[in-house]
Amino acid sequence: MRSVYIRGKCSGLKRYTLVVALILLLAGAIFAMYSNFLVIEFDKSRIEHKDNAREISGFFEKGEKIVVEFWPAEEWQNINLLLEKIDGVDRAAMFIYFNVTGPSSNAATFEVTLVRGQTGQYPAIYEIRVEKVGDITMDLKANNQTSEIGGVVNASGNYTALIDFIAPPTVPPQYIELYKGIPQKRYPYYYLLPIGTAVLASGLILLFWSSRTSKKVTRLKKSIREENKQKLQRFHRCL
């Protein structure tokens, strides 16, 4: 009875310990894996500013990001905008087409839609849509939409952003600016590395302890069998 009780109790404990150890090892491995998750972010800085201009240029290295920004001209408050149906609603809108051209002359074309909420307000950017990708890598969403005028350049050289067309015809923006984004490697989940290491170590320690305990239980059961065998032999001699 003693042997059966020890075998059952220790067997259940061993299985439980082994399961917990495996869970800790798996969790630690996942934490460690996510700690190495790499994200490329761009530190953006302005490199050029022009007032009342339709064109702006700058030098970019391959892998850097070019971004064009502008501010509405005063005259844009009062011009008669185009009545366009946007998302099923008639909106007063205007359109600006930007060409961004690099060393290969394969221009990327952006259509910027601006809408006016109430009379007298500046038209604000509603959406930016890519008409042609060119030599720039962009993060495109549905219907070729993007969040900014520009993208990552595929070759080093001078890049020029040009306002090719404004509808309805009007003066250029109050100013236009050119920004450069320098790529930076970042690990947003690096803080998980020490956690993963600690969890992995706990799993290994528990697994080692389980193995040692299993060996001790095996020796104990062997000792009990020998003890029972000796008792049985003495019993037979008494008979």
Using pLDDT thresholds of 50, 70 and 90, give the confidence band for residue 234: low
Reading the block at residue 44, the tokens are: 């953006």
Which of 32-46, 113-127, 129-143 has the least mean pLDDT? 113-127
Q: What is the pLDDT of residue 15?
A: 72
C-alpha span between 105 and 135 (Å, rounded): 8
- In Å, how far are 97, 104, 181 from 47, measured between CA atoms? 22, 22, 10
Q: In the chain, what percentage of residues exceed pLDDT 70?
A: 80
Summarize pLDDT for 9-31 with one digit per residue, the tens.
455 556 777 788 788 888 888 88
138: left (phi over 0), alpha (psi -120 to 50) or beta: beta
Using pLDDT thresholds of 50, 70 and 90, give the confidence band for residue 182: very high
Q: What is the pLDDT of residue 3?
A: 47
Summarize pLDDT for 40-92 with one digit per residue, the tens.
888 999 999 999 999 999 999 999 999 999 998 888 887 788 888 877 788 88
Question: Could you tell me the residue ranges of all domains in the chain?
Answer: 2-36+191-217, 39-186
Q: What is the pLDDT of residue 119?
A: 57
Of 181, 167, 160, 183, nearest to 105 (Cα)? Answer: 160
Of 194, 62, 208, 38, nearest to 135 (Cα)? Answer: 62
CB atoms closer than 10 angstroms to residue 209 = 12
Evaluate if pTM is beyond 0.75. Answer: no
Residue 96 has pLDDT above 90, yes or no: yes
- Give all strands (DSSP E) within the chain, no chain letters: 39-51, 55-60, 65-71, 82-86, 89-101, 108-116, 124-132, 136-137, 145-146, 149-153, 157-167, 175-186
